[in-house]
Amino acid sequence: MESFFEWLQSLSVPTWVSESDSIWGFPTILFLHSVGMGLSAGAAFIIGLRLLGIGHPLPVSSLRVLFKIFWGGFVLNFITGSLLFAAHATTTGYVPMYYAKLALILVGVILLFPMRRFVDSDASDGVIPARLKAVALVSLGVWIGVITTGRLIAYFS
Amino acid sequence: MNLVHLHLLLNHVPTIGTIVALGLLLLAFAKKSNELTRASLAIFFAIALVSLPTYMTGYSAQRALKDRPGISAPLVEQHQSAALLALIFMEATGVVAWFGLWQGRKPTGTARWSAPAVLALAVVTVALMASAANLGGEITHPEIMSAGAPQAGEGALAPAVLKTAFIAKYQFTHPMAWPTLEAIHFIGLSLLFGVVLVGNLRILGLMRNAAFVDIHRWLPWGVLGFVINSVTGMLFFIGQAFQYVDNPAFHWKVLFMLLAGANVLYLTLFDDVWALGTGEDAPSSAKLVAASQIFLWVGVIYFGRMLPYLGGAF
């Protein structure tokens, strides 16, 4: 693993990200990562809250576009997150908080599928099943966890 | 013109403005006018926004005066904690005023408690603002000072936890305080941004199967995100004020935040989006406002993220 992290970090783009003083390097990637967070976690928050039964008159079927926004933010953050990791692989690679964040993202993405299936179904504007409400509640907690662990990586390095 | 001038200019807005808005609200009660009530609530909301930079620019004034002879440091500190207490009540007034405007849009009609609640909060705010303003005036206007130097604790209603030094010391002695506030700030950002997206994307033409009335029901969640981030943001500011007061990224961030905050009123006060039914297309003027609102919030994120890189914050 150690040699992999060192190899990753020595590549030209990660080296530029970590060493360049340009505003277009590390700072801009960090900004894009925050926007991606706003898109993904923001969409996940609205989906989760609505499936809990909050904001009732809003048709559940209108949430469909939010899944697209979620994935847009997800792709952006997969790219920017990979760059941020590669730039500091030899340190971040040993931070447990980083792996906690990745694990929570995995859980969050898995939980989106049953929610998506319900929102896409013809029954979406009917009664929300209790099990799906439980999924929505856990999903909200998981995305709060992703943001929190992500923010704490810098403090547990 | 610098930030000290700005402080001396802005500080009249919460002191005089709240009195004017309070008078308007009383007039609205006397005339039982819904329109006047709404106007008064909108003014309270606007003053609450302007009060944030009023408080912040006070730190520039404090630094400009710090080493001048005849300036009483304890008096400056008293002014500061009195101002923070007044700010807290001002922001609470602004949030309840916004909530009253939002409730007024419900099909069931205006709620009865919000305007009286604003009235009660505003009365307290006016008193606290007067106290803060009086202490502030005494800092550099010896002609109005009561005989002798002001006594420690005189005129200071604010409890010890509102002292800047206390908040900064707490953050310093609790190493997890700052990271915790940051995590909460990011959660608030995502909540706010999620509601901003839902509200404005509908106006821009996505989610057409929702009527705007249904979208409007979500706005308090966005305002909750805004409140979470104002509180955590002010705690960052108070804890480490001098890494922000001269930071150009911070100035831009506050400017964008004020414009975006004022922009939120458009969704509640104006009828052109309100009438938007299922499947209907918004007028292009509304689309322009919606696009500008998304742009402004992305700008707030940009300048927030750039605090360490365009300025000297950590």
B189, B300 contact by CB (below 8 A): no
Q: What span, in angstroms and rounded, lies between the C-alpha atoms of B171 and B147? A: 38
Tens digit of pLDDT for each residue in B77-113? 889 989 999 999 999 999 999 999 998 887 665 567 8
Q: Are B225 and B188 in contact (CB under 8 A)?
A: yes
- Point out the residue among A37, A59, A62 whose CB comes nearest to the CB of B186: A37
E strand spans, chain A:
none
- What residues of A are in contact with residue B197 (Cβ under 8 Å)? 39, 42-43, 46, 66, 69
* pLDDT tens track for A134-144: 999 999 999 99
The more confident residue out of B168 and B92 is: B92
Residue positions counted in chain B = 314
Cβ–Cβ contact B113 with A under 8 A: no
Q: B277 CB contacts (<8 Å, ≥6 apart)?
A: B211, B212
Residue A42 confidence (pLDDT)? 98
A49, two tokens? 């809250």
CB contact under 8 A, A62 and B210: yes
The Cα of B182 is separated from the nearest Cα of chain A by a number of Å equal to 7
Residues in B touching A151 (Cβ below 8 Å) = 179, 182-183, 186
Nearest chain B residue (CA) to A154: B179
Residues of A whose CB is below 8 A from B218: 46, 55, 58
- Chains A, B: CB contacts within 8 A come to 99
> Cα dist. B44→B126, B127, B258, B268 in Å?
12, 15, 14, 15
Q: Quick check: A58 and B218 CB within 8 A? A: yes
User: What are the distances in angstroms from CA B95 to CA B228, B237, B242?
Assistant: 12, 20, 28
Q: CB contact, 8 Å: B306 with chain A? A: yes
Residue among A58, A65, A151 whose CB faces B183 most closely: A151
Residue B218: pLDDT band by 50, 70, 90 thresholds? very high
Interchain CB distance below 8 Å, B310 and A23: yes
Q: Which chain A positions have a beta carbon within 8 Å of B236's beta carbon?
A: none
Q: Across the interface, do A31 and B198 touch by the CB < 8 Å criterion?
A: no
Say how far apart CA B136 and CA B14 lie, in whole Å.
Answer: 13
Across the interface, whether the CB atoms of A57 and B183 are under 8 A apart is answered no
Query: Which whole number is the average pLDDT over B239-265?
Result: 92
More confident residue, A124 or A151: A151
Q: Tell me which residue of B257, B242, B108 sits closest to B185, measured CA to CA.
A: B257
Which residue type, as a one-letter code, is found at position A8?
L
Whole-number average pLDDT of chain B:
89
pLDDT digits (tens, 9 = 90+) for A30-87: 999 999 999 999 999 999 999 999 988 899 999 999 999 999 999 999 999 999 999 9
Residue B129 near chain A (CB below 8 Å): no
Which whole number is the average pLDDT over B125-134? 92
Query: What number is the ipTM of this complex?
Result: 0.95
Cα–Cα distance for residue pair A111/B266, rounded to 1 Å? 36
User: Would you state the pLDDT for residue B199?
Assistant: 92
Mean pLDDT of B31-44: 93
Amino acid identity of residue B117, one-letter, is A
Q: Tell me whether residues A61 and B209 touch, CB distance under 8 A.
A: yes
Query: How far apart, in whole angstroms, are the C-alpha atoms of residue A150 and residue B304?
Result: 17
Query: Do the Cβ atoms of A147 and B298 come within 8 Å?
Result: no
Task: State how far residue B99 is from chain A, nearest Cα, in angstroms.
Answer: 16
B195 touches chain A (CB under 8 A): yes
Q: Enter the tokens of residue B87.
A: 């700010």
Q: Which of A23, A33, A34, A74 to mutate to test the interface with B (most CBs of B within 10 A)?
A: A34
**pLDDT recorded at residue B185:** 98
- Kindly list the residues from chain B whose CB atom is less than 8 angstroms away from the CB atom of residue A147: 183, 186-187, 190
Cα–Cα distance list, B50 to B18, B43, B64, B291, B307 (Å) = 11, 11, 22, 23, 21
User: How far apart are the C-alpha atoms of B157 and B178, rounded to whole Å?
Assistant: 27
Q: Which of B196, B210, B309 sits opposite A59 (nearest CB)?
A: B210
Chain A contact probe: residue of B108, B181, B184, B187 with most A CBs at under 10 A: B187
Q: Which residues contact A53 (CB under 8 A, 6 or more apart)?
A: A128, A133
Minimum-distance CB partner of B186 among A44, A58, A147: A147
Residues of B in contact with A154 (CB under 8 A): 179
- Asked if residues B266 and B289 have their Cβ atoms less than 8 Å apart, the reply is yes
Q: Measure in Å the smallest separation between the Cα of A115 and chain B Cα atoms.
A: 17
- Burial category of A113 from C-beta neighbours within 10 Å (exposed 0-12, middle 13-18, buried 19 and up): exposed
CA B275 vs CA A87, B46, B51, B105, B191: distances in Å: 50, 24, 32, 11, 26
- Measure CA A66 to chain center: 14
Q: Is there a contact between B197 and A43 if contact means CB atoms under 8 Å apart?
A: yes
User: Inter-chain contact A37–B189, Cβ cutoff 8 Å?
Assistant: yes
Cβ-Cβ contacts under 8 Å for B142 (sequence gap 6 or more): B70
- Interchain CB distance below 8 Å, A59 and B187: no
Mean predicted confidence (pLDDT) in B265-274: 86
Chain A CB contacts of B105 below 8 Å? none
Q: What is the mean pLDDT of chain A?
A: 95
